[in-house]
Amino acid sequence: MSEVQLQQVKDRESLKKYLLLADEDEKIVEGYLNEGMMYAITVNQEVAGVCLFIEIEDETIELKNLALDKRYRRKGIGKKTLEIATEIHHRSYTYMEVGTANCSLDNIAFYQKAGFRFHKIKKDFFLRYPSPIVEFGIQALDMVVFRKKIKE
């Protein structure tokens, strides 16, 4: 397998294009671009994507965005990214949460395979987006929030 690493990002603006792969609305991305901790996901020292984490409670960190360039998807890099992120954050946080759209069936499967469990639903979350998001013929309305215990 390729060498996957997370490297903390200083120039977030230069990697914003990756965030937009997972969250299509530029204004919403702008709203959290400078929050929390952002990492470049590198594969063999080449940027493959980004992930951004925000503390939401004393013991909970949220994976706000995880995006990989299409060339790097379905190769185990997302799974490895979550393993590395867990290693980074398990000393400071007990839980990791992540939210995705009710229609993002691939994401829903991915997070469950990575050990996340259904935690809550944020009803009508995606109605605040200016344009409807549709995947698999289903409109994004609600955010499905998953949670995983990362500290033993």
| Confidence grade of residue 14 (pLDDT, cut at 50, 70, 90) | very high
What does the pLDDT read at residue 24?
Answer: 83
Considering the entire predicted model, what is its pTM?
A: 0.91
What does the pLDDT read at residue 1?
Answer: 53
Q: Look at the chain and count its residues.
A: 152
What tokens does 23 get?
Answer: 């969250």
Average pLDDT over residues 25-45: 93
Cβ neighbours for 152, distance < 8 A, ≥ 6 positions apart = none
**Residue 74 CB burial class (10 angstroms; 0-12, 13-18, ≥19):** exposed
What span, in angstroms and rounded, lies between the C-alpha atoms of 51 and 113? 18
pLDDT of residue 54 exceeding 70, the answer is: yes
Average pLDDT over residues 10-18: 93
CATH number at residue 121: 3.40.630.30
Lowest pLDDT segment from 21-35, 52-66, 87-101, 110-124: 21-35
Average pLDDT over residues 64-72: 95
What does the pLDDT read at residue 126?
Answer: 94
What tokens does 29 get?
Answer: 């991305």
What tokens does 126 get?
Answer: 């995606």
**For residue 134, what are the domain limits?**
4-149
Contact assessment for residue 41 and residue 79, using Cβ atoms and an 8 Å cutoff? no
pLDDT of residue 130 exceeding 90, the answer is: no
Into how many domains does the chain fold? Answer: 1
| Confidence grade of residue 13 (pLDDT, cut at 50, 70, 90) | very high
